[in-house]
Chains A and B, each alone.
Chain A
C-alpha cells in the first residue's frame, strides 16, 4: 500500500441521482502493476458501478481514481474493457472487430500492420480460421474470446472485465479461464475482474476483494476484506483442488458471502484512510479455521 501503487482508489463513493443513500462509499483500494484482482459480492452491491468508474464510462460522486500517476476522468485506451455481453459489432467480421480497436489505438498504422497485429491476438485466443466470420456465426464462448482478444489487442495498461464468463457453460468457461490465466502471466497484465464464481476467483486472482451488501436499510456497500490468494502462482484448474490451502480460502469466501456480507465492516486506518483488512485464510492453521471447515455447499453465489 505504498503511495505510488499503480492504481489507487481513494474514498470512492457513488450515489445515483434521487437515491436516498450512496450505493457504496469509502472504497480505498490499491492495485499493483501486474496484479490480478477479482471482486466478489452480492448482486446489486455496486461492482459494475465501480468497474464503470474505473473505465471512465461513469463518474464517481466522491473520491477519485488515479492510474499510473494520472487521475481517471473519462474512457481511455489505457484501460481495456471486456463487456459482459461481449459487445461485438455484429456487422463486422471477427478480424474487423479487432482491427477497429487496433486502428483506434494506432491510427497511423498501415492496413497490413493492423491486420498482422490483430491476427496475433486472434491466434492467442485460439480463434485462428474464424477471422472472416461474423459474431452471429460464433458460439457464445467464441464471441467472448473475441471480446477478450479485442481488449488485449490494444495493449492497455489495465484490463477490466465484468463477469466475462457469466453466460458460458462450465466447460467453455474452464478453457477460457485457462487461456486468460496463461495470457495474463505471459503479458504481466494488470487485471480487475468481477465474478460471481468463487472457484474462478481463486484460480485467477492474486487478491480477492469482498464487497459487503448494499441493502435498502443497511449502510452503503464497502470493500469489507481483501483476501490474499496464497496458492502458488503455478496453479492450474486441474490441480488446484488438491492443494491444502484451496478449501481454506474457498470456505472463507463462501462463509463471507453466506453469513457475513451484511455484517458491519471494520477498517484498518492507515494515514487517516480506512483500508479493508488483508486476510490470508490459506495460511491459517487447521484449528483456527476449524469452525468453517465444513464442506462447502455453495458452488456459485448469484
Chain B
C-alpha cells in the first residue's frame, strides 16, 4: 500500500516535470516569423542568434548542466570559475558562519534553558535582534570588519544563531521533570547530567533549530554574495546576469535549490537519528 503510493507519487512527479518541460519548451521556441521580420532589428541588437534573445529553452539548460558538470572545478581568473568552485566557496562560508553560530548558540542556549532568570534577562534582547534581516547587518559588518569575505561569514553567523539559540533554550527548559528527578536521585553530577540526560532529551528540538538555521543561512548566503561579490554561487548569479546569460542564471538557480535540498536532507537525517519515541 505504502509502496504503491510512493511509486504513484514518483510517477506523478516525473509526469509533472515532463509537462513543465514541455510547456517551457513550447513557450521558448524561437519564433521564426518574428525573427524574419525583425531580422534587421535583431542584427542591431547584436547577434540575432536565438540564444541571446528571450528565455533559454530547456535544451539549452540541459547543455549548460552537462557543460558545467563535465568540468566543475576549472579556474580561469576571478570572473570565470567552475560551478563546483563557486558552490564550494558558498558552502565554506555557510559552514564557517553556521559552526560559529552553533559554538555560541548551543552553550548559551543550554545556559539560558537551565536558568529561568537568565532566560528572562536575555529575552528582550533576543526578541529585538531576532527579526532583524541579516543583510541589514552588512554595512555595519563591512565597516567594522573591513573584509568582505569575513563580513559574509558574519552575516551567516548572525542569521543562524537565533533559531539555534531559541530552540536549544526551549528544548533544555522543557526536559521532562521526571528524567531530571531520576538524575537527582542517582546523584548524577552536573556535566554528566548535561551530556547524558539534558542533551539527548533536548536533541530533537535542538536539531530542529539547527535545520531551520541552515535553511536560513543558505537563503542568506546568495544575497550576501551578490552584495559582497568576488566568489560564491550568489556572485555567480550576479555575474551571469551582468553577462546577460540567463541560461547560466537559471542553471545557478537550479544548483541553489539542489544544494539547499541536500543540506536540508542531511539535517533531516541527523534529526531522525536523535528523535526518540516517548
Contact = CB atoms under 8 A, between A and B. Distances in A.
Contacts of A229: none
Contacts of B278: 90, 136
Interface string A120-145: 00000000000000101000000000
| Size bracket, chain B contacts | 20 to 34
Given A90-B277, A91-B201, A134-B276, A104 B179 contact: no
B186 A105 contact: yes
A77 B187 contact: yes
Given A83-B178, A85-B178, A100-B196, A91 B276 contact: yes
B187 A75 contact: yes
B104 interface: no
A186 to B, nearest CB: 23
Nearest to A83: B178
A104 B181 contact: no
Nearest to A151: B185
Given A83-B178, A134-B277, A89 B187 contact: no
Interface in A40-91: 55-57, 75-77, 79-81, 83, 85, 87, 89-91
Residue with the greatest number of chain B CB neighbours at <10 A, chosen from A81, A89, A101, A136: A89
B260 interface: no
Interface residues of A, number: 23
A87 B185 CA distance: 12
Nearest to A80: B185
Nearest to A91: B276
Given A90-B278, A91-B200, A134-B277, A104 B187 contact: yes
Residue with the greatest number of chain B CB neighbours at <10 A, chosen from A56, A87, A101: A87
Given A76-B187, A104-B187, A87 B181 contact: yes
B204 to A, nearest CB: 9
Interface in A233-248: none
Given A134-B276, A136-B276, A154 B186 contact: yes
Given A75-B187, A89-B197, A57 B181 contact: yes
B277 A89 contact: no
A79 B181 CA distance: 13
A56 B186 CA distance: 11
Nearest to A57: B181
Contacts of B188: 104
Interface in B184-219: 184-188, 192, 196-197, 200-201, 203
B276 A90 contact: yes
Interface string B74-107: 0000000000000000000000000000000000
A117 to B, nearest CB: 15
Contacts, number: 58
A83 B179 CA distance: 10
A82 B185 CA distance: 10
Contact of A83 (B181, B200, B277): B181
A57 B187 CA distance: 11
A123 to B, nearest CB: 21
A87 B184 contact: no
A101 B178 contact: no
Contacts of A85: 178
A55 B186 CA distance: 11
A83 B184 CA distance: 13
Contacts of A81: 181-182, 185
Interface in B152-203: 176, 178-179, 181-182, 184-188, 192, 196-197, 200-201, 203
Interface in B223-278: 274, 276-278
Contacts of B201: 89, 91
Contacts of A136: 276-278
A87 B179 contact: yes
Contact of B200 (A56, A79, A89, A101): A89
A167 B272 CA distance: 30
Given A83-B178, A91-B200, A100-B196, A55 B276 contact: no
Nearest to A137: B277
Contacts of B176: 87
Given A75-B186, A81-B181, A81-B182, 15 more contacts: A56-B184, A57-B185, A75-B184, A83-B181, A83-B182, A85-B178, A89-B182, A90-B276, A90-B278, A91-B201, A91-B276, A92-B200, A100-B186, A104-B186, A104-B187
13 contacts: A55-B185, A57-B185, A75-B185, A77-B186, A81-B181, A81-B182, A87-B181, A87-B182, A90-B276, A91-B201, A100-B186, A104-B186, A104-B192
Closest 7 CB pairs of A and B: A136-B277, A87-B178, A104-B186, A91-B276, A75-B184, A90-B276, A75-B185
Interface of B: 176, 178-179, 181-182, 184-188, 192, 196-197, 200-201, 203, 274, 276-278
